[in-house]
């Protein structure tokens, strides 16, 4: 079997490492991959958003199965195009990826089906949004309708911040047409949990829960980033809460998508907030999370490729998905200054025996050396019997990896450790 993973980040490195363990796969490719993924897969130059280019490569190379990892190509319909060319692929079709591609769609969808989420209003006109904000409860959250590199949600603590957010999205169009429509929603409070799930459109199997750390600095200070570290499982996600989420959120979502003629096949990401009124959906994503995947897949004991194919073929109910009863922690090592501005091009030193635990996000090969090429450079993950041990081991690994300008949070998992004592 020849399998291709589309994408180039730490998440894709985790997918590649997990797929590499499958006895069913003979050759593994990544497009475009990166300098670290190149150790584990054959990297092919190209652009992950170039649908005709990816289809042409897959056809010419005789690829048997494609895993489309990032949001953009999924929302643009890459899985549909591959299938039309006779190549099965993991990921939702375009008409189901809209669950992430349009916040207005996903909010209206949840309202239609009684799935718990923050109360909201939709605006297509900046003046109307601004006049609504005159009396709206504060804090509030302003969100671009479309994809915005993970930066389209602005939590506004004051009325002025909320107005600025509206102007940024709708008037300055910093995310282009993604800001043509916006959602203004109720501010929720409570611990956040990510639950990735496998689904074939009928059956839904949640993976082990996880906790992201989105802010750049310790103590959850600083700007929102793509994610500075993760732990799994998430201690706030008790078996009782899991059961409630299954019945009020996961099953109703999958059923309603099917009933609307948009069966979702692939990895459905539930971003949840455990509010005092129960678990509510913050957002859906139509793909694996980054860096959640870097702690979830190392705990997966079943063969990832078998599970993915079962999702594509509608056979998930007959497939075992088993996770280790252990803990995983991932610390992201970034370039200092991320997410605003940072220098790149610095050589990386990674001891050979650490590579099993390294997920490269932003590094490329230059003159036979691996050099930094992005804001988030890599993640290091450790799996141990307890969260405390996993965190100690992940931080010990960061101490053995070096590059100029390296920055990482020192408090990944601190809140999770405290929650365990509560």
* Nearest CB to ligand GLY, comparing residues 11 and 309: 11
CA 16/CA 23 separation, integer angstroms: 13
**Position among 122, 126, 136, 155 found at the interface with ligand AMP (CB under 6 A):** 155
**Position among 185, 200, 292, 303 found at the interface with ligand GLY (CB under 6 A):** 292
- Binds 227, which of ligand GLY, ligand AMP, none (CB < 5 to 8 A, cut-off by type)? ligand GLY
Q: Are 327 and 349 in contact (CB under 8 A)?
A: no
* Nearest CB to ligand AMP, comparing residues 71 and 80: 71
* Nearest CB to ligand GLY, comparing residues 200 and 292: 292
* Nearest CB to ligand AMP, comparing residues 88 and 190: 190
CA 133/CA 136 separation, integer angstroms: 5
Binding map of ligand AMP across residues 265-294, x = CB under 6 A, - = no contact: ------x----------xx-----------
Shortest approach of ligand AMP to residue 212 CB, angstroms?
Answer: 7
* Nearest CB to ligand GLY, comparing residues 58 and 245: 245
* Nearest CB to ligand GLY, comparing residues 263 and 289: 289
Q: Is 368 exposed, middle or buried (0-12, 13-18, 19+ CB in 10 A)?
A: exposed
Determine, following the binding rule CB under 6 A, whether residue 285 of this chain makes contact with ligand GLY.
yes
Reading across the β-sheet that carries 120-123, which strands appear in turn?
120-123, 182-186, 140-144, 153-156
- Binds 339, which of ligand GLY, ligand AMP, none (CB < 5 to 8 A, cut-off by type)? none
- Binds 290, which of ligand GLY, ligand AMP, none (CB < 5 to 8 A, cut-off by type)? ligand GLY
- Binds 278, which of ligand AMP, ligand GLY, none (CB < 5 to 8 A, cut-off by type)? none
Binding map of ligand GLY across residues 217-256, x = CB under 6 A, - = no contact: ----------x-----------------------------
* Total Cβ atoms within 10 A of residue 205: 18
Determine, following the binding rule CB under 6 A, whether residue 185 of this chain makes contact with ligand AMP.
yes
* Contact set for ligand GLY, span 124-163 (CB under 6 A): 150
Q: What are the DSSP E strand ranges found in 25-148?
A: 27-32, 42-43, 65-68, 89-90, 120-123, 140-144
* Nearest CB to ligand AMP, comparing residues 223 and 324: 223
Determine, following the binding rule CB under 6 A, whether residue 12 of this chain makes contact with ligand GLY.
no
Q: Which stretch binds ligand GLY (CB under 6 A): 127-135, 256-264, 288-296, 340-348?
A: 288-296
- Binds 289, which of ligand GLY, ligand AMP, none (CB < 5 to 8 A, cut-off by type)? ligand GLY
- Binds 153, which of ligand AMP, ligand GLY, none (CB < 5 to 8 A, cut-off by type)? ligand AMP
Give me the residue whose beta carbon is nearest to ligand GLY.
Answer: 289
Q: Give CA angle at 79 (76, 81), nearest 5°.
A: 80
Torsion of CA 300, 256, 180, 156, to 10 degrees: -60
Place of tokens 């948009």: 262
Q: Is 246 left (phi over 0), alpha (psi -120 to 50) or beta?
A: alpha
* Contact set for ligand AMP, span 99-138 (CB under 6 A): 118
Q: Is 307 left (phi over 0), alpha (psi -120 to 50) or beta?
A: alpha
Place of tokens 């001891």: 351
* Nearest CB to ligand GLY, comparing residues 69 and 87: 69
CA 207/CA 200 separation, integer angstroms: 14
CA 5/CA 30 separation, integer angstroms: 5
CA 47/CA 74 separation, integer angstroms: 13
Tell how far CA 17 is from the center of its chain: 17
What are the angstrom distances between the C-alpha of 136 and each of 118, 129, 130?
A: 14, 10, 10
**Position among 40, 185, 212, 303 found at the interface with ligand GLY (CB under 6 A):** 212
Helix 103-113 vs helix 251-259: crossing angle, to nearest 10: 100
CA 388/CA 347 separation, integer angstroms: 31
Q: Residues in the site for ligand AMP, rule: CB under 6 A?
A: 118, 141, 153, 155, 185-188, 192, 214, 271, 282-283
Q: Residues in the site for ligand GLY, rule: CB under 6 A?
A: 150, 212, 227, 285, 289-290, 292
């Amino acid at each position: 079997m020849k399998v291709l993973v589309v994408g180039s980040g730490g998440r894709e490195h985790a997918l590649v490492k997990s797929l590499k363990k499958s006895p069913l796969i003979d050759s593994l490719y990544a497009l475009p991959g990166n300098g670290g993924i190149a150790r584990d897969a054959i990297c092919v130059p190209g652009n992950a958003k170039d649908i005709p280019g990816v289809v042409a490569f897959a056809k010419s190379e005789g690829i048997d199965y494609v895993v489309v990892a990032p949001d953009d190509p999924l929302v643009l319909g890459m899985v549909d195009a591959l299938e039309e060319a006779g190549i099965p692929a993991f990921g939702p079709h375009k008409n189901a990826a809209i669950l992430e591609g349009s916040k207005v769609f996903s909010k209206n969808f949840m309202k239609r089906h009684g799935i718990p989420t923050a109360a909201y209003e939709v605006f297509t006109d900046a003046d109307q949004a601004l006049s609504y904000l005159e009396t709206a409860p504060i804090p509030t959250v302003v969100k671009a309708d479309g994809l915005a590199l993970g930066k389209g949600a602005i939590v506004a603590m004051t009325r002025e911040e909320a107005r600025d957010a509206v102007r940024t999205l709708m008037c300055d169009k910093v995310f282009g047409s993604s800001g043509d429509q916006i959602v203004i929603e109720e501010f929720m409070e409570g611990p956040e949990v990510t639950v990735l799930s496998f689904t074939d459109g009928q059956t839904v199997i949640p993976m082990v829960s996880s906790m992201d750390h989105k802010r750049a600095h310790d103590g959850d200070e600083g700007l929102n980033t793509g994610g500075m570290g993760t732990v799994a499982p998430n201690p706030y996600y008790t078996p009782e809460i899991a059961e409630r989420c299954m019945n009020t959120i996961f099953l109703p979502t999958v059923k309603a998508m099917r009933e609307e003629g948009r069966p979702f096949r692939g990895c459905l990401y539930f971003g949840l907030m455990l509010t005092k009124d129960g678990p509510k959906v913050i957002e859906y994503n139509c793909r694996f999370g980054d860096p959640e995947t870097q702690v979830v897949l190392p705990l997966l004991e079943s063969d990832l490729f078998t599970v993915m194919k079962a999702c594509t073929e509608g056979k998930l109910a007959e497939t075992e998905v088993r996770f280790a009863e252990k803990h995983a922690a991932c610390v992201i090592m970034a370039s200092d200054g991320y997410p605003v501005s940072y220098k790149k091009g610095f050589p990386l030193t990674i001891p050979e025996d650490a590579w099993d635990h390294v997920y490269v996000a932003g590094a490329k090969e230059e003159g036979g050396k691996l050099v930094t090429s992005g804001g988030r450079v890599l993640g290091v993950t450790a799996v141990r019997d307890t969260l405390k041990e996993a965190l100690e081991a992940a931080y010990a690994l960061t101490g053995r990896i070096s590059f100029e300008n390296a920055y990482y949070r020192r408090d990944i998992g601190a809140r999770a450790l405290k929650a365990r004592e509560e």
